[in-house]
């Protein structure tokens, strides 16, 4: 299924039987990428939302929600995307599923440029690229039956599965662990976890290749989260799906991801495989995020040498991001160069891309004889006091 085994994770499995449903399959018009090959490629992707003022809606600025992303998603993998609220994760998800028009950059799916495809151009692509939304309550129309909701993609795409839509929808309900008898029920009759299963069934209806899930479990109780995460895992194994999973919860990301992309203020700051990210994070922001994840066993905590790093201040406004490295206003390692020169996202180890002038877990990690910025020094002092 994936480049990195997820078997060492404590979360357990709940295998469901599934048939890929060839009759409802994808477009089949493009060359199928083999496992590990790039399915989706994003270059210089930007989304700037204009900020307008007055009666004539004069543009007075822009929210730089996504501001130059470069990454690829490999066939069969799960790319986890993590970062604080407002860093542009959902915007990125909506851009790559083409629910939003990019301001700049390029999106290629199976080698085909889909950046500016219109509604009709995207129609065949919609079968291959699907999205699962965060809120299972608002993402399902309360006036429609489960049968109508899960069957809608067939109608929209004019797909006629063998045996009829009803039979196919009932099969999908079973695949996601619901009952075929749920066909005539309404969303309000289901719990949050079951509703998310309905949303997953709808996303799988046309046997997509890429599924982008935006915070798929964050609206659910912790006990139900594990079930839905395991379901996504099982479906990936059985159907050969490729996932981009967006979450702010690092333990969910750790469980599901093969590779992880860390975002900060519209930019990628680190991209690597799961093991490298958790064991040898190189970006100070990643280190700070990881240090905030509780470690249940105190002996493990000591062994990992993980002291808590408290980030000072809020995330700056994406309307007016800081110069140079956008993290410099909160980074305890910031130097003058960080303030004026934006660090590019470059490979600093095999398969490990980082955007930092003074990366962690690297020979040149120390700021050396360069002077720490005054604000950053104050932030460090504050963090030390908090810990003391
Ligand atoms: N349609 C829009 N118009 C203007 N600004 C927007 C729009 N959508 C998002 N933004 C802004 O873009 C930035 C990124 O938003 P986004 O929803 O992508 O962040 P996020 O990382 O998904 O956050 P969260 O973790 O809270 O879901 C935010 O500052 C947000 O206010
Ligand atoms: S050390 Fe400098 S470049 Fe690296 S994250 Fe901190 S401020 Fe940014
Ligand atoms: Mg979001």
Instruction: Please answer whether residues 208 and 20 qualify as being in contact, where contact means their C-beta atoms are separated by less than 8 angstroms.
Output: no
Q: Report the nearest atom of ligand 2 relative to the CA of 284.
A: 5
Domain-located, residue 240: yes
C-beta of 266 in contact with ligand 1 (< 6 A):
no
pLDDT of residue 180: 95
Nearest to 77 by CA among 43, 26, 36: 36
H-only helix segments in 32-118: 89-96
Q: Are 264 and 64 in contact (CB under 8 A)?
A: no
Model pLDDT, residue 362: 82
Could you tell me if the CB of 354 is within 6 A of ligand 2?
no
pLDDT of residue 298: 58
Ligand 1, atom 16, lies closest to the CA of 88
Residues 388 and 308: beta-carbon distance below 8 Å: no
Q: Are residues 81 and 121 in the same domain?
A: yes
Q: Are strands 210-214 and 129-132 parallel, antiparallel or unpaired?
A: parallel
Boundary of a domain, candidates 264, 292, 318: 264
Q: Is the CB of 254 under 6 A from ligand 2?
A: no
End-to-end CA distance of the chain: 45
Q: Could you read off the pLDDT of 238-297 as tens digits, one per residue? A: 999 999 999 988 888 998 999 999 999 999 999 999 999 999 999 999 999 998 776 665
Check if 91 has its Cβ closer than 6 Å to any atom of ligand 1.
yes
Contact 380, 288 (CB under 8 A): no
Asked if 244 and 319 sit in the same domain, the reply is: no
Partners of 352 in beta bridges: 349
In this structure, the answer to whether residues 117 and 255 fall within a common structural domain is yes
Quick one: 257 and 291 in the same domain?
A: no
| Pair 296, 335 in one domain | yes
pLDDT value, residue 10: 39
The distance of Cα 362 from the centroid of its chain, to the nearest Å, equals 27
Dihedral Cα 148, 151, 153, 156, nearest 10 deg: -70
Q: Is residue 274 a part of any domain in this protein?
A: no
Q: What is the pLDDT of residues 325-374, one digit of tens each?
A: 999 999 988 999 999 999 999 999 999 999 999 999 887 555 544 455 55
Q: Is 357 in the pocket of ligand 2 (CB under 6 A)?
A: yes
338: Cβ below 6 Å to ligand 2?
yes
Do residues 303 and 241 share a domain?
no
Say whether both 145 and 185 belong to one domain.
Answer: yes
Scored b (16 or more CB within 10 A) or e, 30-67 reads: eeebeeeeebbbbeebbbbbeeeeeeeeeeeebbbbbb
Instruction: Select from 66, 86, 215 the residue to mutate for testing ligand 1; criterion: most ligand atoms less than 8 Å from CB.
Output: 86
Host domain of residue 84: 71-264
User: Which ligand ends up closest to the CA of 283?
Assistant: 2
Q: Which of 229, 264, 299 is the last residue of a domain?
A: 264
Q: Measured from the CA of 358, which atom of ligand 2 is nearest?
A: 1
Residues 6+ apart with CB under 8 A from 147: 166, 169, 183, 184
If you measure from the C-alpha of residue 64 to the centroid of ligand 3, how many angstroms do you get, rounded to a whole number?
15
Does a structural domain hold residue 16? no
Atom of ligand 2 nearest to the CA of 357: 3
How many helical (H) and strand (E) elements, i.e. helices and strands, does the chain have?
A: 12, 12
Closest CA to 71 of 48, 89, 50: 89
| Structural domain contains residue 297 | yes
Residues 115 and 249 reside in one and the same domain: yes
Q: Please tell me the pTM assigned to this model.
A: 0.85
Q: How many distinct structural domains can be found in the chain?
A: 2
Query: Is 31 part of any domain?
Result: no
**Cα separation of 152 and 299, whole Å?**
52
Residue 372: its pLDDT value, please? 55
Q: Is 126 in the pocket of ligand 2 (CB under 6 A)?
A: no
pLDDT of residue 304: 53
Domain finish residue from 264, 297, 331 = 264
Probe target for ligand 2 pocket from 263, 312, 327, with the most ligand atoms within 8 Å of CB: 327
Question: Does the Cβ of 331 fall within 6 Å of ligand 2?
Answer: yes
Residues with CB under 5 A from ligand 3 (ion): 90
d(CA 16, CA 177): 7
DSSP codes, 202-259: HHHTT--SEEEEESSSTTS-HHHHHHHHHHHHHHHHHHT-EEEEE-S-HHHHHHH-SE
User: What is the pLDDT, as a whole number, of residue 367?
Assistant: 53
- Taking the CA of residue 248 as reference, the ligand 1 atom at the shortest distance is 25
Same domain, 249 and 342: no
SS3 (DSSP) at 91:
helix
Strands 78-82 and 242-246: parallel
CB burial class (10 A; 0-12, 13-18, 19+) of residue 373? buried
From the CA of 64, the nearest ligand is 1
Tell me which residues of the chain have a pLDDT lower than 70.
1-33, 294-307, 364-388
Q: How far is the CA of 375 from the centre of ligand 2 (A)?
A: 13
* Ligand 1 pocket member 316 (CB < 6 A): no
**77 in a domain, yes or no?**
yes
Tell me if 337 is assigned to some domain: yes
Q: Does residue 380 share a domain with residue 236?
A: no
For ligand 1, is residue 325 a contact (CB within 6 Å)? no
Looking up residue 143, the CATH number of its domain turns out to be: 3.40.50.300
Angle between the N-to-C axes of helices 165-175 and 146-157, in degrees from 0 to 180, rounded to the nearest 10: 120
75 in any annotated domain? yes
Query: In a 3-state reduction of DSSP, which class is residue 67?
Result: strand
- Whose alpha carbon is nearest atom 30 of ligand 1? 86
Q: Quick one: 309 and 231 in the same domain? A: no
CA distance 204 to 153: 9
Round to whole Å and give the CA distance between 196 and 290.
28
94 and 199 in one domain?
Answer: yes
d(CA 257, CA 273): 8
């Amino acid at each position: 299924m994936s480049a990195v085994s997820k078997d060492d994770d404590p979360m357990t499995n709940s295998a469901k039987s599934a048939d890929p449903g060839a009759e409802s399959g994808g477009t089949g018009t493009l060359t199928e990428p083999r496992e590990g090959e790039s399915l989706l490629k994003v270059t210089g992707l930007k989304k700037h939302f204009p900020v307008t003022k007055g009666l004539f809606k004069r543009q007075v600025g822009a929210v730089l929600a996504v501001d130059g992303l470069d990454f690829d998603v490999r066939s069969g993998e799960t790319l986890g995307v993590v970062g604080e609220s407002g860093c542009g994760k959902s915007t990125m998800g909506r851009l790559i599923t083409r629910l939003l028009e990019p301001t700049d950059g390029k999106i290629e799916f199976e080698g085909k440029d889909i950046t500016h495809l219109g509604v009709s151009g995207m129609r065949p692509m919609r079968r291959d690229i699907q999205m699962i939304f965060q809120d299972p309550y608002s993402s399902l129309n309360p006036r429609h039956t489960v049968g109508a909701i899960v069957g809608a993609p067939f109608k929209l795409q004019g797909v006629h599965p063998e045996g009829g839509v009803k039979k196919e929808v009932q099969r999908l309900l079973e695949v996601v662990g619901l009952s075929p008898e749920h066909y005539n029920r309404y969303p309000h009759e289901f719990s949050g976890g079951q509703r998310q299963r309905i949303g997953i069934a709808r996303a799988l209806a046309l046997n997509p290749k890429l599924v982008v899930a935006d915070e798929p479990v964050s609206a659910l109780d912790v006990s139900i989260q594990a079930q839905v995460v395991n379901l996504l895992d099982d479906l990936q194994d059985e159907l050969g799906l490729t996932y981009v999973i967006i979450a702010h919860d690092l333990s969910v990301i750790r469980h599901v991801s093969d590779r992880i992309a860390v975002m900060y203020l519209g930019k990628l700051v680190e991209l690597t495989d799961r093991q490298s990210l958790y064991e040898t994070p190189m970006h100070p922001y990643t280190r700070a995020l990881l240090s905030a994840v509780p470690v249940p066993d105190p002996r493990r905590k000591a062994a990992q040498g993980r002291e808590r790093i408290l980030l000072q201040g809020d995330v700056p406004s994406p309307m007016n991001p800081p110069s140079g490295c956008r993290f410099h206003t909160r980074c305890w390692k910031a130097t003058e160069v960080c303030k004026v020169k934006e660090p590019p996202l470059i490979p600093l180890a095999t398969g490990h891309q980082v955007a930092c002038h003074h990366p962690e877990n690297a020979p040149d990690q120390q700021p050396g004889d360069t002077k720490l910025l005054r604000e950053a020094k104050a932030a460090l002092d504050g963090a030390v006091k908090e810990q003391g």
